[in-house]
Structure formats: C-alpha cells, structure tokens
Amino acid sequence: MSASAENLTVPVNFYRPDYHVKTPEMRSPAYVQLSTAAAITLGLVPGSMHRTSCTHCLNLLVTYPEGCRANCSYCGLARHREESRDYADRNFIRVDWPTVSYDDVIQRVLGNADKGQFERMCISMITHPNSDYDTLVLLRKWMQAVPHIPVSILSNPTTMKYEDLVTLRDEGADIFTVALDAVTPEIFERTRGKSVDSPHRWDKYWQAIEWAAEIFGPEKFGAHLIAGMGETEQEMMAVCQKMRDMGGHNHMFAFFPEQGSLMEDWPPVPKDQWRRVQLGRFIIDYAGGRIDDMRFNEQGQIIDFGLDADELEALIASGKPFQTSGCPGKSDEEVSACNRPYGDSSPTDIRSFPFALNAEDVGFVRRQMGGEDVGTIDHDQID
C-alpha cells in the first residue's frame, strides 16, 4: 500500500516502504516495524522464502519518523541516511521493514495467521529518547495478549539503566540481548563510536551485558557479534568464550555491506573465515569446547578446534553450527527460533542457514571451509 500525507483521511494500519511517496506519520508504541520475513509469515506481504515457509521469530523494531539517533557505520538505519531516505523506507539487514499497527500484529497472531509457527517474539530497540519506555509498553501489551509466546529484548544499552533491565525482566521478558557487534574496542570505536559521530561506548555495552548476566541469569542473555569487520578469528573466539563463561550465548552474523551505509563498500566476510568462526562459536556455546583447546596461526585463523576428529566430523555433518544463531526455539536449544531468513546473504550463497542443512548443503559448507569460492546452490541443477 502507498499513501501520501495529503490524501490520508483514515488511520494507516500498514505501510510498505515506497521511495516515491512521502511516508505517513507512524510511531511506536502504536506502530512497529517488522521484518519482511515476518510480514510474509503474517500475510501482510505476498511472497515466499527459499526452502522455508516462515520465520519462527516475530522480529519487531520500535519506529519513529525522526529515526535512530545513532550513526553506526554498517547499519542501514543510521542517522547519516536522513538526507537520502525517510526512516520508514530504509533497508535493514538486507531487507525492507514494513510499518504496521501493533494491535493488528497482535490480532493476526491471535488469529493464527502464522499457523502457530512463531516460537518467539523480539522487540528491537533503537537509539531514541522514547525507545526505553515504548519497549516496556509493547512488552506489557504482548504479555497480556499473547503470553504463551516468549519475548526477547534486543536492547539499546546507551540509554538504559540497571533498573530498566530489572523492570523488563519483572514484566515478562524472557531473554535480554545486547548487539555488541564489534568484538574489539578499536573496531567498536571505528564503526559505532565517536569516530563516526555516534553515541555508543564499548564500556557501556559490556556493562549492560554484565547487568543482564546478573538480572536475567544463565542461558537468558546473549550478545550479537558480527564477523568480518576487521577482527581476527582468535579475537572473535575470545569474545565468544568470555560470553559463555558469563553464562550467556553468542548470536553471530556474517558482515554483509548494507546498501547506503558508510561501510557499503566493505567486502563481505570471507566464506572460509565465516565457516570457521561459526563452527568455533558452536563448539564453545554447545559442545563444551574452549578457546584454550583451540590453536591459531600467526594470522589469528583457527587451525585446530580442540576436538578429536570423530567429534568434529559429527558436528560438521549435523549442519547445526551453520544454522542461524540467536535466541532458542521450543524444541531444540541449539537451534535458534530467530532464523532470520536471508538476513546476511542471498539464497544462492547462504551464510546463515534458516533451515536444517541436508547432505548437499553440508558439502557446500565443507568446500567453503576448504577455501573454495563457491555458493550454496548447484546452478547446474537449476532449470
């Protein structure tokens, strides 16, 4: 649906990004943005997703016409895009995020529009003066209407106090996560700190992770980490181990250059590097491995995962380490409900698999780990 502000005579319940019209005034908590995958699952947007019928997590984003006030260099929502695109039209993790009435979202879930496939809902905060309060409003309303679907909070530590985390927990939030993204202080500063005129600080983010460990407890908090922003594999594993030692989990993303971001010309994470850190993260998070048992070369690349050959082979063959990592679903704590279909890659070259891998998929992954520059689809078999 497209609408101009001049012709708007009735409340707008849904807005699909359209770069050729003036966006309507839609703000949280009355409205939220949701991922394209969630919009397809709820029947708001027509379409289908390669080899998966839905997303198992309803990813929501608080929204305001004035947008996020941070300026992270890799993010499509960053403040520097104000001159080129209205906030509601900006792409984020590769896709558009339509804006919809929150009441409509709840009614559609209650009406089984997702066919019972949502295993989790996530409220993602942005850097905005109203984000903290509106997140709490959204959480309360969800817990009153749909308490059987647990809620994760993807937080904005920059604006939060200790008491805010306590309140979110007491109001029903199940898991609290922090989008640390950059895994060293230097990369954090270069991509989302003072260097790019952004308000985020490394120490504040780690403080929020420590608060989450205390307030939400083991297995109920996590950190988002982006691979491919200039860190070594050893540095990535060090943060994964620190998080696990604190009782949390690591939700890993492959860096993909977001169109319109300051890092749109930065190359995607190399495939062999990505597969190694995916496997290393899974070993630390779920297979009882430790960075102390791993070995790295002079470039900080993993050359030994610290497991015996049979155990390592079984993990790779399972395909689980290469599925999307995030907050857990109902049936398997090692498989994320937040499968984010194609949020960090295209269907022809899948980085985070939003479905269980078959033998052919694992074969492509093995070739990538071996250094071959191949995608994850056999073009010879396509008609």
Q: List the domain range (segments joined by +) for residue 147.
A: 31-267+332-338
What are the Cα distances from residue 122, in Å, to 59, 118, 164, 176?
5, 11, 17, 10
Over residues 58-72, the pLDDT tens digits come to 999 999 988 899 999
Sign for the CA dihedral angle at 126, 127, 130, 136 comes to positive
Report the C-alpha gap between 250 and 293 in whole angstroms.
19
Task: Give the mean pLDDT of 326-336.
Answer: 91
Q: Is residue 315 part of a domain?
A: no
Half-sphere exposure of 273 (CA within 13 A, CB side): 22
Which among 124, 212, 123 has a CA at the least distance from the CA of 161?
212
The structural domain count of the chain equals 1
Is 280 part of a structural domain of the chain? no
Look at residue 9 and tell me if it is in a domain: no
For residues 147-172, give the mean pLDDT. 98
Which CATH number does the domain housing residue 138 bear?
Answer: 3.20.20.70
Whether residue 152 lies inside any domain: the answer is yes
Answer whether residue 285 is part of any domain: no
Q: Is the dihedral of CA 181, 184, 190, 195 positive or negative?
A: positive
**Pick from 160-169, 316-325, 342-351: least confident:** 342-351
pLDDT tens digit sequence for 255-290: 999 888 899 999 999 999 999 999 999 999 999 999
The 10s digit of each residue's pLDDT in 27-68 is 999 999 999 899 999 999 998 888 887 789 999 999 998 889
Task: Summarize the confidence of residues 190-219 as an average pLDDT.
Answer: 97
Highest mean pLDDT among 59-73, 208-222, 331-345: 208-222
pLDDT at 345: 86
Q: Are 41 and 105 in contact (CB under 8 A)?
A: no
Share of the chain above pLDDT 70, in %: 90
Instruction: Judge whether 49 and 341 are in contact, CB under 8 Å.
Output: yes
Compute the distance between CA of residue 135 and CA of residue 164 in angstroms, rounded to an integer. 10
Is 360 inside a domain boundary? no
Which has the closest alpha carbon to 131: 107, 153, 151?
A: 153
- Residue 383: its pLDDT value, please? 41
| CA geometry: angle 213, 155, 330, nearest 5 deg | 70
Nearest to 319 by CA among 284, 253, 275: 275
Does some domain include residue 7? no
